[in-house]
Amino acid sequence: MKHQARRLLMVASACALTATAVAQEPALDAFSGLKMTGDWELVRNNCISCHSPKLITQQRGSKNHWLKLIRWMQEKQNLWQFDPDTESRITTYLADNYPPQEDRRRAAIPPDLMPPNPYAPPTTPAD
């Protein structure tokens, strides 16, 4: 009987911890799926005009990673320049709400383990 009571107490404690963790999660915006906390509206207004909000919510990264993505979009995709405060607020929101997670993405496959690319330009033998 003691063993069952202890097991029941452990299950109840686990359920309470799970409920607390779920209760602390911010609500999601019905339109974008972004977590409605902090500068979420700034992110929504500046990011989903060019791409799906899923592209944001499915990604994970540090503040530096998010900044590199912004720089890439500015260089390659014609994203406008942000003033430093706006850029910092956007990257802070993203890093706080969509931080890196080791179990989210596998490491890149090393080139020596990749199959030959059939679309690569032909290589010429060295003389």
Domain containing 78 equals 24-101
pLDDT band at 77 (very low <50, low <70, confident <90, very high): very high
User: What does pTM read for this prediction?
Assistant: 0.65
Quickly tell me which residue has 């963790």 as its tokens: 21
Residue 16 lies in a domain: no
Residue 55 lies in a domain: yes
Residue 35 lies in a domain: yes
Torsion angle of alpha carbons 43, 19, 58, 115, nearest 10°? 160
Position 124 scores a pLDDT of 74
- Check which CATH number belongs to the domain holding 91 and give it: 1.10.760
Residue 88, H or E segment: helix 84-97
Position 120 scores a pLDDT of 86
Q: Stretch 26-35: mean pLDDT, rounded?
A: 96
pLDDT band at 67 (very low <50, low <70, confident <90, very high): very high
Q: How many domains does the chain have?
A: 1
Output the six-digit token pair for 51.
């791409």
Residue 123 lies in a domain: no
Residue 125 lies in a domain: no
